[in-house]
Chains A and B, each alone.
Chain A
Amino acid sequence: MKNLISERVADFIKNYPPFNVLDSKSLFQLAEQVLIVYKEKNSIIFSVDESQHSHFYLVHKGAVTLSNPATSNILDFCDEGDIFGLRPLFANENYKLEARAHEESILYGIPIDIFRPIAKENEEVTVFLMESFASNTRNPYAKNQKGQLYESDDNETISNEVIIPDLQLASYSKKLVTCSTRTTIQKAAEIMTKRQIGSILVIRKDLPVGIITDKDFRNKVISGKQPITATVKSIMTTPVITYPKNLTITQAQMAMMKSNISHLVITEDGTPNSAALGILSKHDVMVSLGDNPAVLVKAIKRTSKIKKIKQLRKSVMVLLTGYLEQNIPLGLIAKIISELNDTCIKQVVEISIAKMDTPPPAKFAWLALGSQGRSEQLLHTDQDNALVFEDVPEEDLPKTTTYFLNLSKHITKALNTIGYEYCPADMMASNPKWCLSLQEWKNKLSYWIGNPGPNEVLMSSIFFDYSLAYGERNLLDNMSEHIFRTVEKYPVFLVHLANGALQSPSPTGFFRQFVVEQDGQHKDSFDLKSRALRPLIDAARVLILSHSVKAISNTWERYEKLAELEPNNQELYLACSYATKALLKFRTRQGLANHDSGRFIQLDQLSKQEKMKLKRTFKAIKEIQELITLRFKVTNILG
């Protein structure tokens, strides 16, 4: 039965191979039989050795990873429009890999019984399937296994499914910028500047004969060897090193090292005697490998597509996993990852501004709040943000507010697309309560500080960890100063904040055993966030505020500053700083291993040593809570 939903399905699948070559009759025939499957994040679609489903799958929304659970290697990453789970159905065997929803996903289950005859009839479909089974090429995020061509412990049957990362194809830029051998040096430099590129291909009779890079200008022109009026022929590097397409990353790296060059030319038949298809630069190789923050920052800044940022953020996670494996100090990891996250957010804001019909009517600042504001956000979590804009004449206020609210909606939506969940408590700039002018913010802050009920204390505790993500820093400084002035006027606020900091449940019970959750989905697991991290974060906030120190929002940096300000408590503060880092590292590791926020820990999965390490941090938590109780005389006032 043809209906609206089958039309909707057909409308989607017709864009992706192999369905894009089907005629509309087969397309609808297929679409009418599709199952629409919803998968929660982390749920399994099929597991190893499971018998065949009657369907193979196409990712409609979300993403799916295919992995070998024995080695926990991710072998393929399927995005919207990718198909998976088809090969076993054709080969008539059980699944060899585990498919798992990497994020909340909607899949189309396409019945093999209907698809098989269609595939047989249509030669193009057959060719597509043959090619994809034979090469297994589409695999940009496979786990990097340097120097390991075949997995030694795998048996023969699996090896045809296993995708070897070193055989990953290098993507090259297909937008060729060329000039002829008779072009002048000056003209070539102009073209390169205009197109913002670092190299240009020199062509004679449609064939690549040489290449000029920035280096050639420096070595051969600026040094005075050639005048800018000479032709490019006099400075180009020739001959060019050519390769056919379908070059793997490893091959490209080897070729560059061997000839000590940074650019390869991809030609039709791989020789200089055929037309050039594209250029593969060292930069392209680096981006594909994704193991260099500087390259990632550059790639993020270059992009104008939100979807592309989403992909780059996956490379950031690869980087993070690598850093944790190499045991790099957490302070450093957090700095690098936060820097990358900040770059992503900045780029999102810029893309969103470009999407608006008019430029912003006033200066504004985009604030990161909560863990992101503290630069402690290593894993993807919720987005907490706010927007402040400079004061405008009263008659312009409604108009300006509307503009910034619309802008915020674009930004929060884009952030959601790249992987930041919406904040369930709606603490986002798209909420009219978090998108205000400077004066409105000041009024709100004064109210919170002057009337510290439980809500106000909670709001302040989230808000006071802000940092600038984009825009005007002085708007932020202005707010910080306002907070300190107001707190001085209402010292009792600090007592309430201190009391709030003591509200987190205790990590250990009477017999020093871990206290685990009693019910709910996380029954019997340990809540690392609210029982261990939050007390430390809250304590640091109230202490740093009582010293009127601004512009430090990171928890361990706050403790380090406190150690400097109060030498007599130095030891405790440094212990807290260390504990925060240790706990965060713990949480990040857990989160990466289980692909979640890492908040809840299964205690039985911990080694004895890890448990001891965790317990040591609790000592610091207990002591800092005692210090706060005494210093702010919390018990006297609140009873």
Chain B
Amino acid sequence: MGLFKKTPKNLPEYWSKYESLFKDPQSKNFDELIFVVLDTETTGFSFEDDRILSIGAVKIKKETISVQDVFDIYLTQEKFNKETVHVHGLLKNGQRECISEILALEKFLEYVGNAIIVAHHAGFDMGMLNTALVRHGLPKLKNTVLDTSVIYKKTLIKSYLVQPKPSYTLDELAEKFSISKKDRHTALGDAYITAVAFLKIISRLKEKKNFSLKSLIR
């Protein structure tokens, strides 16, 4: 397959820098891994037609989040979807300082590096980010991705009483782990809730047999 893969030329320097981080394999020791827990707020659910309004992310190193080192970026919008605004409360060019999509992506790549990406319903956020990257002629993200809605299910005991729901919402997780739902529906607020839920899920899974990063991916 690799033979037919188009290798876009003239990739910007920040991409090469990002890409070069993946040359070394990740540490085998789970406790040494760095995680970036992210959430995006968007104008809607279509990868093609909708746009990212904001990206929020926090970094977890050794079970610690530094308040200083968080990612909180708002994007200028050329397209504006009235319907989703009241859900997220983000107004087009509201009081927040906004930056262009390409600049936001550049900053995000710099922030995320080769960390493991964690998100709730990660498929959606990754889809939005990758579509945006491709739109600007860049390749897709190379990071390993974990989805809290998937790994949460691994904490549940399989019994006839729990027919695991196909998916759990972030609200359900926050409820289960008694995480305050303050700042819900802002990218950074959701990223923080996801991060705490992630830490709690991991500590429960660590007790199980054969725990490793691999066991989480599938």
Q: Tell me the A residues contacting B by CB distance below 8 Å.
A: 1, 3-6, 8-9, 31-41, 61, 104, 106, 109, 413, 416-417, 422, 424-427, 431, 433-434, 455, 458-459, 519-521
Contacts and interface: CB of A to CB of B under 8 A. Distances in A.
Contacts of A459: 160-161
A39 B70 contact: no
B183 A8 contact: yes
A33 B161 contact: no
B207 A5 contact: no
A104 B58 CA distance: 20
B107 interface: no
A61 B200 CA distance: 12
Nearest to A434: B161
Contact of A36 (B65, B188, B211): B65
B66 interface: yes
Interface in B160-215: 160-162, 176, 178, 182-183, 186, 188-189, 192, 196, 199-200, 203, 206-211
Nearest to B200: A104
A434 B162 CA distance: 11
B64 A6 contact: no
B21 interface: no
A521 B64 contact: no
Contact of A5 (B156, B188, B199, B208): B188
Given A33-B67, A426-B162, A521-B208, A38 B199 contact: yes
Contacts of B157: 424-425
A262 to B, nearest CB: 41
Nearest to B175: A413
B189 A4 contact: yes
A1 B68 contact: yes
Say whether chain A's binding surface is mostly helix, strand, loop, or mixed: mixed
Give 10 nearest A-B pairs by CB, closest first: A520-B209, A455-B160, A36-B65, A38-B199, A425-B157, A425-B159, A38-B63, A40-B203, A426-B162, A424-B157
A382 to B, nearest CB: 10
B208 A36 contact: no
A33 B68 contact: yes
Given A6-B67, A35-B65, A39-B63, A521 B160 contact: no
B72 interface: yes
B155 interface: yes
Nearest to B62: A37
A376 B63 CA distance: 35
B64 A38 contact: yes
Contacts of B176: 422
B67 A31 contact: yes
A8 B68 contact: no
A32 B67 contact: yes
Contacts of A519: 209-210
Nearest to A107: B64
A323 B72 CA distance: 54
Given A4-B188, A426-B162, A104 B156 contact: no
Interface in B26-66: 56, 58, 63-66
Given A5-B58, A520-B208, A521-B207, A433 B67 contact: no
Given A3-B70, A8-B183, A519-B210, 6 more contacts: A3-B188, A5-B58, A36-B64, A40-B203, A424-B155, A521-B207
26 contacts: A1-B70, A4-B72, A4-B186, A8-B192, A9-B67, A31-B67, A34-B67, A36-B64, A36-B66, A36-B67, A38-B63, A38-B65, A38-B199, A38-B203, A39-B63, A61-B178, A104-B200, A109-B64, A426-B156, A434-B161, A455-B160, A458-B160, A519-B210, A520-B207, A520-B208, A521-B208
